[in-house]
Structure 1
Amino acid sequence: MVEITPEIVESALKDVRRGMRLRSSPLIGLGSLRRGGARSEPFDGDAPREHGLRDLLCRLVAEGLAAARGVPARDLLDGRRPDAAVEAALAADFAPGDRDREAWSVLYHRYTAPVPLDVQAIAALTQAPGARNPERQIRRRCVLGFDKLAARLRELEREAAPDAAPGAATVSVPDAGRHNLPPRRNRYIRHEVVLAGVEALLGDARLLTLVGPGGVGKTRLALELARRQLPRWPDGVWFVGLGSVAHGDDLLPAVARVLHLHDGSEPLSLPRLVHRLMGHRMLLVLDNCEQVLEACATLADAILQGCEAVSIVATSRERLNVAGEQLWDVPTLEVPAVEGPAGSPAAVDPEALLHAEAVALFVDRVVEVNHGFRLDARNAADVGRLCRHLEGLPLAIELAAGRMRALSVGDILAQIEDLLGLLTHGAKGMPDRHRTMRAAIGWSHDLLSPPEKAVFARLAVFRGGWSFEAARAVCVGGPIAAGDVLDGLGGLVEQSLVEADVVGDMPRYRFLEPIRQFAVDRLAADGAADGVRDLHLAFFAALAERAEPELTGADQAAWLARLDRDYANLVAAMDHAVAVGDAEGGRAAVPETAHGEGDDPEGGAADGSARVTTGLRLAAAMWRYWDARGNQADGRLRLKRLLAAATADTPDAVRSAALHAAGVLAMIASDEADAVALLEAAADLRRKTEDWQGLGRTLSNLGAIQYRRDDLDEAQRLYAVGLSAARRAGDEWNVTNLLLNMSMVSLQVNDLDAAEAQLTEAIPVFDRMGDVVGMAAARHRLGLLYYRLGDDETATAELRTALAHFEHVGHRYAVAEVRRDLGSLSHVAGNYVAAEREFKRCIEICAAVDNRWVASLALAHLGQVMSDIGRGDEALAHFGHAWKMAVGCGNTHAQGEALNGIARTRLHAGERAEARVVLCRCLSIGTTVRSARVALPWLATAIRFLALDGCLPQAARLYGLYRAAQMRHGWRLPPAQEAELAGVAETLPATPAEDAVTPETELQVALDSLRCRGNQRPSDA
């Protein structure tokens, strides 16, 4: 049998194009050539077969293109055409957006046309609509064409295969094609690697069972495999559909009818059927074995033992469990990675999207019912999202495609929570179980035992998957004992209603979404939804509380990953806690503490206050997770809803923990007003309840807000009071955390010895506790200290170490901060390329986690880099963006940096009047800043402006103030800015150095010098 692959077809077509001999092509041995193909006589000898192969390839390409165009094939085989006709035909082939037509067209015009064209010419003539790289699109169409031509040649080979080996006995069956396989209704879509993998298994095993949930495509895959196997089986490939076989006793008659083995003269028995099959080489396809599983297993075992040349492909929702059985879990179709809500923008290449099997199937089936549909930039993202929601389940995709006669993709996505109501009205002629998604799943559900049905229904409360521990906590109670959960879950996996994966060394389970929605309906029908959801909430509240202390310990990376896996469940639990009624039917309430095994979820539920309390416990324990994952917005929303639902019965300890969590997330999100209100409320409750540990942690965050506001005295006071509370509570972690915060104040006021002492005390404690995040934060601060001490090499090494730790645990907020500081260090060192790279990475991360505070400063610093290297327009754009963002989040430091950058860039451009206005505004902000180091670059710009404006005495005085402050604070300008200032200094008269005590002194002097035209607000900002 000749192997026919797209690569072999490509090689032959290249020889045809070049007019070369085809004797070396493997296709020269095609059976269709030996039998004469479409001719009346077979080809004999190499030369005739070469001509026959050339004719065959040209004819098949012409027929493929002609069919796509809807014209007779002879129109393409008659000879030359005028160039204009060729150009018009090519343009017409590419106009409708039909990939198949384009593929046949490229094959024809590139290889078999009377005057072949090269790829560049075809791309130019077709103008490849919508393609960014037209030549690449043409080459892709070539590849698709090779696949199609190879498939057509394989079909011809099957038709031309000999009926049977000489002398072999034959089963008394119709000899037309030696099979009873139904014709394809439409194109089969699976990647070739999947089909080849399944086919290879059948070569190694005589019983191959294709298992999977209803609608995953087991029958279609079995039929496609059977068609590919036709040449291998002289006595045929026979399909036995068991969908209507309700009892095991009816199995043998069904098989006998297909094989024409029973004439009624003798009773039919299994030994007699096996005897009749002995000596034959055939493949049996037993479809839908699950409802007569034992009978199918018995039949398969008997055939394997008694008929050595008969093989079986079975489809079932669970294994036959026969010796020698090879299993293949039929996978869902590949789906694209397109996220976001329906209609939201996404950069999606429609051409690339079609490489995903699910999208290719959807588009193919939509075109059947809506001929005008085309996948394009407008709908591609939503098509990708829909295929992801449908989890690549072929039946679901085909049913959704059928809805496209009357609905848009967006309309379907809007109803995605009602998949079972949406996915109905399958094609006529299909089995009833495949005409709706509900029927397909119900077919499997009806085969479950009562305990399995009960477990199946209760598992509906999970979102995104679950562990066995979670399943036991939620399912045990009422009629379900602990042992029923293990057996029931195992049975559901065996019957393909639950997917099982191994995460690490632990199994994890999940429903495909249509099956989950079916289970939700079953749970509502059972009347136990309220109690089961209560157990679900209680379990995940306990999980979050177990995780909270671990998120500052040695295993924090593992716990973050665990919360990642269960985040959908945690969200569902919090949603349930504030729901007036059950989200999917029925009123719900949640107990304050978790049920133990054996508690009855069908019993009375606790009141709404207890349910909200449990939800608050869960959410309060989650804030570190939300911070680490940069998902502060979701955390704030959920805490706000739960706090609003709290009642007078909510315990103070629970309420204060939730207020604290909401306040910290508000601070991280740069909403300082909300953060202060929430944290002060939490502090009041914690003082009232004498919760010294909680109070210390709340005061630490209030101090951090004052630090941001440059009120360093108040920040230090709050840190000191918080440190006292933490020591009183024996809270070693927060004592160390407060030392870390105090080191930042010490750095700002230039007390480097104090900063070093505080960090030296903190680092060993974090190391001993195994707190990776705390250690990384300390290393970050240590890097800043070494920078201030002038040791750039050690500073960079410490920052890189901190970055590695933060990236290890996925703490994107902190990663952004470290990258910003690495950018600043590179900028001061004159490495503008590295500075630009780090600032841009910082800004990208900030955009993903909505960190406007850090992003606004990084944007201003990026603008300074652009200004230093002469890219003034880009610099101004970055400064403008930074200003708007900084005003929105209240970051005065970033506001000043942006205005200073605008002023410098205007000075570079010779726009002195505009620069004066902007600089006045910058210095006005500077007089409110308590950190001299922050304001020094602004002072340098003022000195340069005054010198250029001829105010040399004022500039000289400011320069003396600047140098004194620079020496105190160890401040350095980037090389370009330092060179600018040095050039100005050479023109200034000598003045005695002044030892300015505060930044306000220096900046107020500068501002007074500039206010000759009044203090104006810049239009640029």
Structure 2
Amino acid sequence: MAPQTAPARQNLPVESDSLIGRDRDLSDLLRLLEADRVLTLTGADGVGKSRLALRLAAQATALFSDGVWLAALADSATRAEVATRICGALGITEEGRRDPLETLCDALRGRRLLLVLDGVDGVAEHVTEVGARLVASCPEVSLLTTGRASLRIAGETVWRVPPLPVPPSAEGAEPAADGAVRLFLDRARAAVGDYAETPEELAAAKRICRRVDGIPLAVELAAAWAGHLGAEAIDAGLAAALKGAGTGDQRNGHPRSRVLDAVVGWSCSLLSDPERALLRRLSVFPNWCLELAEQVCADAPLAEADVLDLLSALLDRSLITLTGEHQNRVRYRLPGPVREHACARLAESGEQEAVHARHTGRMIALAEDLGGVALSSRAMPWSERYAYWDRAWAEYDNLRAALHWSARQGRVRDGLRICAGLRPLWFTGCRFTEGQEWAAAFLAMDGGSQPAGDDGPGTDALRGKVMVHQAELSWPRNRFDDAAAQAGEGAELCRSAGDLGSVCLAKALLAMLATVRGGTETDPQAHRIADEVLELARSAGDLWHEAIALNVQGALAARTGAFAEAEGRFNTALMIMRGMDHRWGVGTTLTVQGTVAEAQGDVQTADRCYREAMDIHRTIGAFPELAACLAGVGRIAPRLGSVAQAYDYLGESLQLSHTTGQRDGIADALVSIAGVAAGQGMAAESARCAGAASALLENAGGTGPGSPRFPLSVDTTSPGAPGEGRAWWEEGRGLALEEAVELASNVAESGRMPRARPDPSPSSAPPRAALTPREQQIAELVGEGRSNRAIADGLVIAPATVARHVANINRKMGFNSRRQISSWVSRHSVSS
């Protein structure tokens, strides 16, 4: 059976402390979430919108069968980044030929979930577009967003998050009964284990909470100093700080934004000079770990050895927060208002450019480490090699920040170096749109001359390398003409610069493009180019590109029917990849080799290749490749004697492709299920699945690499009565994506179960107990000659639901077609 894992139902972070004073808000908001599909929490900075949204989402999990999912957008800048972050949060993989937003909408159309979009202020226009599309096309998706203002999406409900309630006066109710005071006391106890709640401290706490107008972040910042200052001293300090905060129409005389900034400034004024220096330098990070902070922030007056203690001090003051842990590294971030304050102080300090330059330099090093190791010919344990990918993913927000800074400052070479290094991440992670946009942006910029003392690659070499990588990213998007032009121009620049690895990659792309763009008549040209790549790679001692060239030659040989030659090329490439312990390369080669073996009818070799590749792709999270291998194992399982296992693997492949938004993968699974069903005599189900796959590919433009392997026509299914096969086919073509997936899932589910043997006696009584009342009703309608669509319209149910019932009737009765159901109905009255 295909090994499956129960899907997660949320990706919310673990809360580090308690949420105080929001019980009534949570109760009201939960009721709104049940009734309204778009709920926006608005309010001033520091008022607790994000914390409230996260707690609300956690409590709403039971309302959404497909879970609740958080996409943090605070550091996004473009529409592509917004869509990519949302897709990443949901585990949806970009399709090469489509706008990521279209893939997102298709993937979520049949799912019931809550999407939390936190921190939308900087990209409100893009979030409005994305949100409106999701609401219009995904009827079971709800949105929960946070920002300073509403998004103006149709049907949006806006909830303005108020500050926490504060005592009306010093002589009012018990302080501990007020939300703001309770928060102050809770955080003060966290700062000082034996915090004494004397009457004087409580009275001062009340004044503090009124003074900062109950703004939660301001209360927390004040309470964090309880271990060093008494409440009286904190109150006096805040009073002085707020005198310069300006005036406004708020109840305490100051606009809340100025109050919060004044409180942040007051807290920072109590820090030591090294603590203030570290805080302002940390503002260049969206998030960070200790090692990164030491590498970027350690400069006079800060010693690298002091950074840990200084971070701990800032954490104690609530000026930084923990976000979790990755690769055994604790990660931190600055709360938004604190980061804004620190950014302003960094600009005033005169060291902004130097700190950003160090940050960008570290990101360049990280990207170039990835680019150098990911495709290096040097043998190393796969876990060590893969760690570079994993680290780059952990720092992806910082890599984006460095790209944005380089673009704003016109630092062309820095941007090109990061783009060149991130090629393995963008390609294997299916970030085609984002990678191409960054590459195009920096290639279009003038300048980029090499500074004195810079021992990195030359500018022309960088441009050539990025052009070749841009061509590689164009390939999955079916932009073959663009890819060929980019690869050709890039190859010339790289050859002049002596970058033979990039020349090999460009030539390998051109060999594959020669076949895809021109058909079989260009095969001689493709073979010639592939031979050139192999010779060049061997002369340079480049094992990685030698293996790539062998794979290209193997694919070209298989295309012309030279399967023995193809097998030899693939085996040699595998030997090289295994020698380097490059699992991704091994998995990719095995997948292609399995496809060729399957086409030859060598099912034992195909099964072995698909299974080993499947394990590799599952481990590294390469979901489109994993789905393809699952489908391959499923297709050949009946030829190895296990139909039930075939449906296990095909069912998982279908659901994985559906969950990750891969229409090619869905079509591949549909065709494969159709083939297995046809072998079982399930002619109607087979034809409908194949018809649905045909329509899906036509709508998706699936004519390039990655499209399903088998031809799609009525002839691929078992024939029924004259014209019946065509009718079933057209029914399948008319199904919506969700209906097609449901149909195929039901076919796979029923196919796993043992099929009953039909009673040979024509006069046998119908087993009424075997069929449900609905199945009896549908059997009668089938007997009347009605199509699934007509039955669905009459019963007001989905055609896929009808198809599921028909499949169940066939399974229970041991039938193979609608004709047998009709014949049986004509002999026996199904109705009571």
TM-score range, shorter chain: 0.5 to 0.7
Is 1:184 paired with 2:177? yes
Partner SS for 1:491? helix
Q: Name the CA distance, whole Å, in 2 between partners of 1:188 and 1:861.
A: 64
Give the SS at the match of 1:876. helix
| Structure 1 residue 534 corresponds to structure 2 residue 357 | yes
- Judged with a 3 Å threshold, the aligned counterparts in structure 2 of structure 1 residues 628 and 99 are, in CA distance, closer, same or farther, namely closer
Asked if structure 2 preserves the Cα contact closer than 8 Å seen for 1:537 and 1:614, the reply is: yes
Matched position secondary structure for 1:615: helix
What is the aligned counterpart of 1:886 among 676, 701, 706? Answer: 701
Alignment partner for residue 722 of structure 2, among 904, 910, 913? 910
Amino acid in structure 2 at the alignment position of 1:663:
A
In the TM superposition, what are the counterparts of 1:448-459 in structure 2 within 5 Å?
A: 448-459=271-282
Is 2:299 the partner of 1:441? no
CA distance in 2, matches of 1:551, 1:672: 25
CA contact (8 A) 1:537 1:615 kept: no
**Which residue does the alignment assign to 1:807?**
618
- Asked if 1:563 corresponds to 2:375, the answer is no
How far off is 1:701 after superposition? 2.2
Secondary structure at the aligned position of 2:504 is classed as helix
Conservation of the 8 A alpha-carbon contact between 1:627 and 1:813: no
Structural mapping, 1:473-512, within 5 Å = 473-477=295-299, 479-482=301-304, 485-500=307-322, 501-512=324-335
Count of residue correspondences: 529
In structure 2, stretches of 5+ residues that fail to align are 1-23, 35-61, 66-171, 209-219, 236-244, 450-457, 731-815, 817-832
In 2, Cα distance between equivalents of 1:443 and 1:526: 18
Which residue is equivalent to 1:897?
711
Deviation at 1:615, TM superposition (A): 0.6
Over alpha carbons, which structure has the higher Rg?
1
Distance 1:187 1:449 in 2: 28
Partner Cα separation in structure 2 for residue 845 and residue 646 of structure 1 = 44
Match of residue 634 from structure 1: 434
Partner of 1:677: 485
Aligned to 1:461: 284
Q: 1:724 aligns with which of 535, 540, 543?
A: 535
Distance 1:895 1:758 in 2: 21
The 3-state SS of whatever aligns with 2:444 is helix
Does the 8 A contact of 1:427 with 1:435 survive in 2?
A: no
Letter paired with 2:693: H
Q: Check if 1:749 corresponds to 2:749.
A: no
Cα deviation, 1:549-575, whole Å, max 9, x if unaligned, reads 332452233222211110011111112
User: Measured at CA, do residues 840 and 517 of structure 1 come closer, stay the same or move farther in structure 2, by a change above 3 Å?
Assistant: farther
Relative distance call for 1:648 and 1:497 in structure 2 (3 A) is closer
* Counterpart in the other structure of 2:367: 544
2:592 & 2:385 partners in 1: Cα distance?
A: 21
Whichever residue aligns with residue 372 of structure 2, its letter is P
- Which whole-Å deviations, capped at 9, do the CAs of 1:447-473 have from their partners, x for residues lacking one? 21222112211111111x223332233
Q: Cα distance 1:526–1:792, how it changes in 2: closer, same or farther (>3 A)? A: same
Map of 1:616 onto structure 2: 416
Superposed CA deviations along residues 158-212 of structure 1, whole A, max 9, x for unmatched, are xxxxxxxxxxxxxxxxxxxxx984263579999xxxx9xx9xxxxxxxx993149
Within a 5 Å distance, the mapping from 1:34-183 to structure 2 comes to 181-182=174-175
> What are the Cα deviations for residues 521-544 of structure 1, in whole angstroms up to 9, with x where unaligned?
332333433332222222101110
Residue type of the partner of 1:880? Answer: A
Q: Distance in 2 between matches of 1:450 and 1:514?
A: 20
Contact 1:857 1:882 in 2 (8 A): no
Aligned-residue offset at 1:647? 3.9
C-alpha separation in 1, matches of 2:574 and 2:709: 33
Query: Which residue identity is paired with 2:553?
Result: M
1:704 matched to 2:638? The reply is: no
Post-superposition shift, 1:865? Answer: 5.4
904-913 or 553-562, which deviates more: 904-913
Q: Report the Cα distance in structure 1 between the residues aligned to 2:182 and 2:512, rounded to whole angstroms.
A: 58
The SS at the match of 1:508 is strand
* Residue 858 of structure 1, CA deviation: 4.7
Give the distance between the partners of 1:238 and 1:182, measured in 2 at CA. Answer: 12
Give the match for residue 628 of structure 2.
Answer: 817
Q: 1:875 to 1:736 in 2, by over 3 A?
A: closer
**Closer, same or farther: CA 573–98 of 1 in aligned 2, 3 Å:** closer
Secondary structure of 2:177's match?
Answer: coil
1:693 to 476, 501, 520: 501
- 2:399 partner amino acid: L
CA–CA distance in structure 2, aligned partners of residues 862 and 811 of structure 1: 22
Report the alpha carbon displacement of residue 617 of structure 1 after superposing the two structures with TM. 1.0
Residue in 2 that maps onto 1:663:
471
Offset from partner CA, 1:271-317 (integer Å, 9 cap, x none): xxxxxxxxxxxxxxx995654634669x9xxxxxxxxxxxxxx99xx
Alpha-carbon distance in 2 for matches of 1:434, 1:654: 45
- Return the letter of the residue paired with 1:210: A
Q: CA deviation at 1:719?
A: 1.5
Identity %: 23
Q: Is the 8 A contact 2:533 2:549 kept in 1?
A: yes
Distance (whole Å) between structure 2 residues aligned to residue 452 and residue 648 of structure 1: 36
Counterpart residue identity of residue 343, structure 2 = V
Aligned-partner Cα distance in 1 for 2:447–2:441 = 12
The alignment partner of 1:634 has SS state of helix
Letter in 2 for 1:498: I
Report whether the alignment pairs 1:877 with 2:677. Answer: no
Kindly provide the amino acid, as one letter, of the partner of residue 240 in structure 1. L
1:835–1:439 CA distance, 2 compared to 1 (3 A): farther
**Contact 2:191/2:224 (CA < 8 Å) preserved in 1?**
no
Matched, 1:293 2:227: yes
Question: Structure 1's 766 and 189: CA in aligned 2 closer, same or farther, altered over 3 A?
Answer: farther
Q: What are the within-5 Å matches in structure 2 for residues 856-875 of structure 1?
A: 857-862=668-673, 864=675, 869=682, 870-871=684-685, 872-875=687-690
Distance between the aligned counterparts of 1:837 and 1:490, measured in 2?
51
* Alignment pair present for 1:644 and 2:444: yes
Q: Does 1:576 align with 2:405?
A: yes
Amino acid at match of 1:570: L
By how many angstroms is 1:744 displaced? 2.5
Name stretches of at least 5 consecutive residues in structure 1 with no aligned partner. Answer: 1-67, 69-93, 101-129, 134-178, 199-206, 213-217, 227-235, 247-285, 300-313, 316-420, 580-587, 589-607, 919-979, 981-1021
Tell me the alpha carbon deviations over residues 828-866 of structure 1, each in whole angstroms, 9 at most, x when there is no partner. Answer: 668666556645654665567776666655554455556
* Cα distance in 2, alignment partners of residues 466 and 425 from structure 1: 37
Measured in 2, the distance between the counterparts of 1:708 and 1:856 equals 20
DSSP-derived class of the 1:910 partner: coil
**Root mean square deviation of aligned Cα:** 5.0
Partner-residue secondary structure (3-state), 1:240:
helix
**AA paired with 1:455?**
L
Deviation at 1:655, TM superposition (A): 0.5
Structure 1 residue aligned with 2:141:
none
Q: Is the 8 A contact 2:188 2:226 kept in 1?
A: no
Taking the aligned partners of 1:739 and 1:469, their CA distance within structure 2 comes to 41
Structure 2 residue 210 is the aligned partner of structure 1 residue 210:
no
- CA–CA distance in structure 2, aligned partners of residues 805 and 686 of structure 1: 32
Alpha-carbon distance between aligned partners in 1 of 2:288 and 2:623, rounded to the nearest angstrom: 26
Contact residue 876 and residue 905 of structure 1 kept, 8 A: no
- Partner amino acid, structure 1, of 2:202: V
TM-score for the superposition, normalised by structure 2 = 0.54
Where in structure 2 are the equivalents of 1:394-473 lying within 5 Å? 428=251, 436-463=259-286, 465-473=287-295
- Could you list the per-position Cα deviations for residues 42-96 of structure 1 after superposition, in whole angstroms to 9, with x for gaps in the alignment? xxxxxxxxxxxxxxxxxxxxxxxxxx9xxxxxxxxxxxxxxxxxxxxxxxxx9x9
Structure 1 match to 2:202: 240
Q: What's 1:323 paired with?
A: none
CA distance in 2 between counterparts of 1:451 and 1:892 reads 55
Q: Cα gap change, 1:476/1:295 in structure 2, threshold over 3 Å: closer, same or farther? A: closer
TM-score normalised to the size of structure 1? Answer: 0.45
